Structure 1
């Protein structure tokens, strides 16, 4: 299954249909992509330039929104809350005043998950260790990529340097991406938009399980005053503290950092520094960059190789995981059923647009939040509005952090007569409602995602109180089942008691990554077929050539 390069013989051309997807980079995005492909029966090989172990760094953590945390838990089969913390609440403070308090609730306001990155990659590696369709090749540093119409060849150097043959290649190899450089893709943007001093420490703080954003704290640490400090809890009484640093390249010395720790803890604890254990430190520098292209032929970029963001509390890893979720089902469909260029091109069109919008929102907010005063400082309510903006970034809400919508996607269907509105607009992520699966079991809608099939969800009040055998052959079910069977791609039929804003007999068509394609008023077989066909890029062609974006072959060596 994990093949090295072969000569261009007839046998070789036939076997290339089962070549794995080559994933460059064994960070969270690359490992997530490998698991997502495996769940859709696509083999992959992950080229890890390291030894296969992740350095334990408590100062290097990630905050995951509910949707991305659910994606990882679905793929790993593990509860990440066992190695991370779901916050009990959030509070914003300005000087000595609490300006905002939020108590998290599983339904109204799901809690973010805060986890050390090495714990996250450890869970992903553990899941991959038992996965027959995925292989991690350690000590394998990429130095060459070559591609043609039929596949991709990659060369790695190191103790086991060799050539690898793949159907596609995805660069998940971080900000200094070798894949991006070999493809000669520009990576414009802004350098050092923000800098933070970071410390992980064990201490008893007044906020049990709550995260805190404190702007303009009333104490003055050694050196320039702290404009902003964030405290985020981890398991076992550990906290990650981040201090926003002033512009410039001044070194953060150990003495200055310890002074900040002591004075911050004293300020939060009523005047005296409580006992603490300093576990890890670092400096986190945020850049804003966006790759010009995310696809060249059979090679793609994802995660930090394609984009860098993270100011104002936003989390870049969230977007990288959504890259993997978006790309996995499209690669799986192309791997199983043959190349479909419109579908593969849609990855760049959808994901790059969402990340670009996120970067624009951050760039527009930065002058307001980091402008240093001016007339805005005297506008009534301005400070409270700024705190709300920052909260949105930290909690993954609003334009700074909420999951993006693919409303303008090239995969969106056009001119459906039976289309009807629901509370979720087309292109947006669907709500996680309880559904009845084809075997009659009750599951969450989110549990059926990521299997390579479209989901067709019928809203049928009353079905939740009756066994499936009583209603599966009644009413509109037989017609809908026949329409689903006739779709041009794999699809699964589900039934739900209700969905926000949906009337009885509404039929929702949902992509494998959980975004709504359309909602139809009743069983309209022709419209359902047209929507499904559009969702996979239009009618498939038997021998489709790569698009103009994919026609460039990449061949280079470091």
Structure 2
């Protein structure tokens, strides 16, 4: 069968190629560049716990060796500390801050030895032809070539050629915010802590008196972002150097400390959402589908979640034939999750940036706004938390044995320790991304016994038989405990780590129905043109 064609060799496209390869699906990555990335220390990304685990699982590379897990976070307003957070606890995992070219390099390194992935450099897409049986794409360059694929995924950024060739609208807001950015090597008082400083005492102009964010990187490097006033005023070198000096001297309480300026830039925030993310065998992911970097560094998180969501669905369709309901669910789930974050940002940012007015006299208003902004930076709440697919078309309906746990259906599961079928103790996330469903039995006390003593005892034989009878390959795991789950609770988890359901004990009929729903319903020999026809009605 033909490979999946991936257009774009940024972090999202490379992650998708690796995720497909882990599920034995070949792909061709069309890279319009030379196959390497220019170092840009001022262009960085912040990855949350789930996306960090995804990249580490796919690459086998420990990202903490390439970036920095923050030790903590502090929010300041004028001279007052509004909030301090210590990272590294189960309730507050540390975000990872890494230069984007370093992350891309790690993904390229992992792909270098991957037999199922071909990276075609200097290959710019200019034509797509879609048929019921597949995709034909043409690239121009030194060796203009026609490529044949089963599906095509546009991971080619904000100016996506794939999106334009499919005439998919990309409405939204332009230049919601602008930030001047600098990467510099210096010594600041907070060590490995990131910080947000609103209305610093040395500045009185700009929205709310100004705002600056500092985020540490390896080797004593910091990324500093200054919120710019509305408008299109040119950010001159003189203006940027003045911001650097006043900020460093303000934070250190004296003269400007020594620093080495490594890179500068202007980060412009756009809020856009493609009308459609699927047209037949063609999909959009990452910045080609959405732009939402409200806090300067968070947009890639959602792009990586796109790749994780789409990979297992494409793999199932590639191996087992067309399954339109499952492929349609990619748009429903991911577009819904990103749209919710965009709505939250569009509602909250005017309050955060407005300043003055009646809100300035309302007790606690400033503190509440600072908390909202901090939550967005830390990956909490509507502005920052990973989306849950609670309204997913893949959600099962009317299961008699369903019981609640602390993870709602559709949300990412906790990374609890589990016992695998080979007796190894591993984190639950380590078993994700292989294309199989996961069935987790909560069985307190099993951890102190050798697996051979309990694998044939109690409810295990019944559960193992129920798992073997599911309509899709599934792996049976055992956990000592799971937040909010009673003994003998059975969790069904999707290949991308989202909870399908939790059942009170072994219920083969419910388990089968939930698994079938998570796969889009009973498999049918549907025409692959069905999705194209449905998509053609809306742009």
What is the DSSP-based 3-state SS (H/G/I as helix, E as strand, rest coil) of the residue aligned with 1:502?
coil
1:538 paired to 2:521: yes
Query: Which residue number in structure 2 is paired with residue 179 of structure 1?
Result: 162
Q: Secondary structure at the match of 1:119?
A: helix
Tell me the equivalent position of 2:263.
280
Alignment of 1:61-80 (within 5 A): 61-80=44-63
Pick the aligned partner of 2:140 from 157, 177, 183.
157
- Offset of residue 191 of structure 1: 0.3
In the alignment, which residue of structure 2 is the partner of 1:496? 479
**Are the equivalent residues in 2 in contact too, given 1:341–1:546 (CA < 8 A)?**
no
Distance 2:247 2:444 in 1: 55
Q: 2:86 aligns with which of 103, 113, 120?
A: 103
Equivalence for 2:445 = 462
| Structure 2 CA distance for aligned equivalents of residues 423 and 515 of structure 1 | 13
1:375 maps to which residue? Answer: 358
How much has 1:108 moved relative to structure 2?
2.0
What is aligned with 1:392? Answer: 375
- Looking at structure 1, the residues matched to 390 and 95 of structure 2 have their Cα atoms a distance apart, in angstroms, of 25
Tell me by how many angstroms 1:445 deviates: 0.3
Q: In 2 relative to 1, CA 277–424 (structure 1 residues): closer, same or farther, beyond 3 Å? A: same
8 A Cα contact 2:171 2:274, kept in partner: yes
Q: Is the Cα–Cα contact under 8 Å of residues 146 and 553 in structure 1 kept in the other structure?
A: no
Deviation at 1:459, TM superposition (A): 0.7
CA separation in 1, counterparts of 2:210 and 2:141?
46
Q: Secondary structure at the match of 1:328?
A: helix
* Shift, 1:384, TM fit: 1.0
Q: 2:112 matched to 1:134?
A: no
Contact 2:207 2:355 in 1 (8 A): no
Instruction: Answer yes or no: is the 8 Å Cα contact 2:394–2:520 preserved in 1.
Output: yes
CA contact (8 A) 1:233 1:240 kept: yes
- The aligned runs of 1:106-505 (5 Å cut-off) are 106-220=89-203, 227-312=210-295, 315-505=298-488
Measure how far apart 1:217 and its partner are: 0.7
Are the counterparts in 2 of residues 222 and 256 from structure 1 also a CA contact under 8 Å?
Answer: no
1:509 aligns with 2:492: yes
SS across alignment from 1:363: helix
Change in CA separation of 1:403 and 1:451 when aligned onto 2, cut-off 3 Å: same
Cα deviations by residue, 1:146-180 (Å, 9 ceiling, x for unpaired): 11111001100001210000000000000000000
In structure 1, runs of 5+ residues without a counterpart are: 1-17
Is contact 2:206–2:229 with CA below 8 Å preserved after alignment? no
RMSD across aligned C-alpha pairs, in angstroms? 1.5
Deviation at 1:132, TM superposition (A): 0.5
Matched, 1:46 2:29: yes
Using a 3 Å threshold, how does the CA distance of structure 1 residues 222 and 276 change in structure 2: closer, same or farther?
farther
Q: Which moved more, 1:453-462 or 1:312-321?
A: 312-321
Structure 2 unpaired stretches of 5+ = none
Q: Alignment length, in residue pairs? A: 537
Partner Cα distance (1:422, 1:223) in 2: 46
Q: Is the 8 A contact 2:324 2:526 kept in 1?
A: no
* Residues in 2 aligned to 1:133 and 1:226: alpha-carbon distance in whole angstroms: 53
* Residues in 2 aligned to 1:123 and 1:156: alpha-carbon distance in whole angstroms: 26
C-alpha spacing 1:380/1:412, structure 2 compared with 1 (3 Å): same
Paired residues of 2:207 and 2:353 also in contact (CA < 8 A)? no
Distance apart, 1:133 and its partner CA: 0.6
Q: Within 1, Cα distance between the matches of 2:128 and 2:363? A: 57
Helix, strand or coil for the counterpart of 2:457? coil
1:547 partner SS: helix
Residues 380-435 of structure 1, C-alpha deviations (whole Å, 9 max, x = no match)? 11111111111111111110010100010000000100111111110000000000
CA distance in 1, matches of 2:536, 2:495: 30
Q: Structure 1 residues 372, 411: closer, same or farther in 2, change over 3 A?
A: same
TM superposition outliers: structure 1 runs of 4+ over 2 Å:
220-226, 542-554
Shift of residue 135 of structure 1? 1.1
